[in-house]
Amino acid sequence: MDSNKRLYESAGLKLNIKPRIKVNYAAIAKGVYAMFTEDERVVMAFGMFPHAKMELAEKEMRRKCALIALEYAEIAATDENIEEWSQAVDKDVVKEFNHQLSVAILTEAKAANMLVV
């Protein structure tokens, strides 16, 4: 990772690509909510999120960010590069993604009349 890290840091990239991309949280939430099992939907009705599904969504978001950054830096996207660069996504970007996705999932659950809280 050292050479890649130096490359994206020297290029001014901290993998904080938030200003460069637009995220359709409603569409992502709809897909994530559709993956919930019936038991997970029951738990979701009380405002609790299934950890495994949220973790999967975050991992995929990190992967997408890494792919965008690798393309921008003109570096071949290998499994190793994607894994390394996905871990370098700015924590504020991850935090914002998780927050916005959570709100969108709650909105999706409310639209399905599945919220108790």
Q: What is the pLDDT of residues 53-77, one digit of tens each?
A: 999 999 999 999 889 888 888 899 9
The owner of tokens 């998780």 is: 98
Is position 49 within any domain? yes
Domain of 74? 2-111
The fraction of the chain above a pLDDT of 90, given in percent, is 56
Is position 37 within any domain? yes
Is position 56 within any domain? yes
The number of domains in the chain is 1
Whether the pTM exceeds 0.85: the reply is no
Is position 117 within any domain? no
CA distance 43 to 40: 5
Task: Answer for the pair 15, 68: CB distance below 8 angstroms, yes or no.
Answer: no
| 3-class state of residue 21 by DSSP | coil
Cβ neighbours for 96, distance < 8 A, ≥ 6 positions apart: 18
Q: Give the residue-averaged pLDDT of 2-29.
A: 63
Reported as a pLDDT band with limits 50, 70 and 90, residue 13 is very low
Is position 87 within any domain? yes
Q: Give the residue-averaged pLDDT of 94-116.
A: 92
The owner of tokens 């738990």 is: 43
pLDDT of 43 higher than 60: yes
Q: Give the residue-averaged pLDDT of 31-39.
A: 94
Is position 116 within any domain? no
